[in-house]
């Protein structure tokens, strides 16, 4: 028994050859990062009007490498002097939240719904000329400025709503 214990305690040298079988699974795609504001340009264009609401397409164009956008943008109205008008845009669930992948030069959009501010009493709104929108892409803390002429409210009224980013 003593010899058996010594034999088990002695180091052993083992030679092992492993041959990999061919894989039938496809390679995992590389992770695509969130779009950075510095690689996006935002433009605003009229989308028409109905029932006291003006629609404005906010288009996001990617100027960098492939990236993703998901969720709602942050939008504030800016007056002719560059000051914020009213309250930031609320959220409208018209489009479901989906992930949009943008290649270089690719676009995505969200719809900004702007209420006709003349439907609000003057004392509640305090009408003001708007000149642009400050747009924060979803998940971003830096914004782009999209020029657009409109009528807004100086008082803290939520007269804008935005949809989630969708296909451009």
The reported pLDDT for the residue numbered 30 is 62
How far apart CA 145 and CA 159 sit, in angstroms, is 19
- Confidence class for position 32, pLDDT limits 50, 70, 90: confident
How far apart CA 55 and CA 112 sit, in angstroms, is 6
The reported pLDDT for the residue numbered 19 is 36
Cα torsion angle, 116, 81, 138, 39, sign = positive
Q: For residue range 69-128, what is the model confidence (pLDDT) as tens digits?
A: 999 999 999 999 999 999 999 999 999 999 999 999 999 999 999 999 999 999 999 999
Of 46, 115, 58, the closest CA to residue 87 belongs to: 115
The whole-number average pLDDT for the span 52-68 is 97
Of 73, 62, 76, the closest CA to residue 95 belongs to: 73
Does domain 39-167 fall under CATH 2.30.29? My reply is no
The reported pLDDT for the residue numbered 161 is 98
- Confidence class for position 168, pLDDT limits 50, 70, 90: confident
The reported pLDDT for the residue numbered 148 is 98
Q: Strand 53-62 to strand 107-115: parallel, antiparallel, or no bridges (unpaired)?
A: antiparallel
pTM of the predicted protein model: 0.80
Q: For residue range 12-23, what is the model confidence (pLDDT) as tens digits?
A: 333 333 333 333
Query: Domain boundaries in the chain?
Result: 39-167
Q: Across the chain, where does the E strand assignment appear? A: 40-50, 53-62, 67-70, 74-79, 84-85, 90-91, 99-102, 107-115, 127-136, 144-153, 160-162, 166-167
Q: How far out from the chain centre does Cα 25 lie?
A: 32
């Amino acid at each position: 028994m003593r010899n058996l214990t010594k034999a088990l305690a002695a180091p052993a040298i083992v030679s092992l050859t492993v041959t990999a079988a061919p894989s039938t699974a496809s390679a995992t795609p590389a992770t695509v990062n969130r779009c950075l504001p510095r690689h996006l340009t935002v433009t605003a264009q009229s989308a028409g009007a109905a029932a006291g609401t003006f629609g404005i397409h906010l288009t996001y164009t990617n100027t960098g490498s492939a990236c993703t956008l998901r969720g709602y943008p942050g939008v504030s109205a800016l007056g002719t002097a560059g000051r914020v008008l009213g309250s930031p845009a609320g959220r409208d669930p018209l489009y479901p939240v989906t992930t949009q992948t943008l290649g270089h030069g690719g676009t995505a959009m969200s719809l900004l719904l702007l209420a006709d501010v003349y439907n609000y009493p003057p004392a509640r709104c305090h009408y003001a000329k708007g000149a642009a929108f400050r747009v924060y892409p979803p998940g971003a803390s830096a914004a782009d400025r999209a020029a657009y002429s409109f009528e807004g409210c100086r008082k803290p009224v939520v007269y804008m709503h935005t949809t989630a980013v969708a296909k451009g």
